[in-house]
A and B are shown apart, each in its own frame.
Chain A
Amino acid sequence: DSGVTQTPKHLITATGQRVTLRCSPRSGDLSVYWYQQSLDQGLQFLIQYYNGEERAKGNILERFSAQQFPDLHSELNLSSLELGDSALYFCASSVVSSGGAGTGELFFGEGSRLTVL
């Protein structure tokens, strides 16, 4: 499958802990985007990387950080977890860095469901 892959699919952890979510973009895509979807919330943009560099930042908490590696996979690190961090975290990728504009269609992964107890 050459689509966007995210691991783990499900993760249960306790408050105060730290987790890492991983995303592999589609083959050839240079941009990676992270979104958070909480209960009753739409998709909230967190951060975008393009070819290893941070390109855009949204409503990402200071407790969260991300990076994109030379092989273009990305990791989202969530630390000092709180109950409110429970959510579905989506990764998306695109060829260009335009955030979806023009021909920059975003291709989404299946998401990582994080539950903080």
Chain B
Amino acid sequence: AQRVTQPEKLLSVFKGAPVELKCNYSYSGSPELFWYVQYSRQRLQLLLRHISRESIKGFTADLNKGETSFHLKKPFAQEEDSAMYYCALTGGSARQLTFGSGTQLTVLP
């Protein structure tokens, strides 16, 4: 079974401070990990995926298979980063995207 855990429901940081949103997963094979984001009054949308090894809006995430983690990081948070962030996983023959429960990030001025 595949499972995604986001331990923080709420996270607040000040503008300009570093931010890290935690994500741990449980999966026996080789997973593909994603971060999806939902800004206020917008649809849930893909932020980044680990296979692309890209930085989007200053965010990066590294897959750590040893720790089964895929934490989302940004060195300097901006107010426009305030949103709900979901970590998600897919893999194997099931090919269903499993989401964590989400972390609401608030960046304070």
Contact = CB atoms under 8 A, between A and B. Distances in A.
Contacts of B88: 100
B32 A101 contact: yes
A66 interface: no
Q: Interface size bucket, B side?
A: 20 to 34
B43 A108 contact: yes
A90 B97 CA distance: 13
A105 B46 contact: yes
Given A40-B101, A42-B86, A43-B99, A99 B46 contact: no
B43 A110 contact: yes
Interface string B43-86: 11110010100000000000000000000000000000000001
Given A42-B101, A45-B96, A45-B97, A101 B43 contact: no
Interface residues of A, number: 28
B102 A100 contact: no
Contacts of B86: 42-43
A48 to B, nearest CB: 7
Contacts of A48: 95-96
Given A45-B97, A100-B88, 7 more contacts: A35-B99, A42-B100, A43-B99, A55-B95, A100-B97, A101-B90, A106-B46
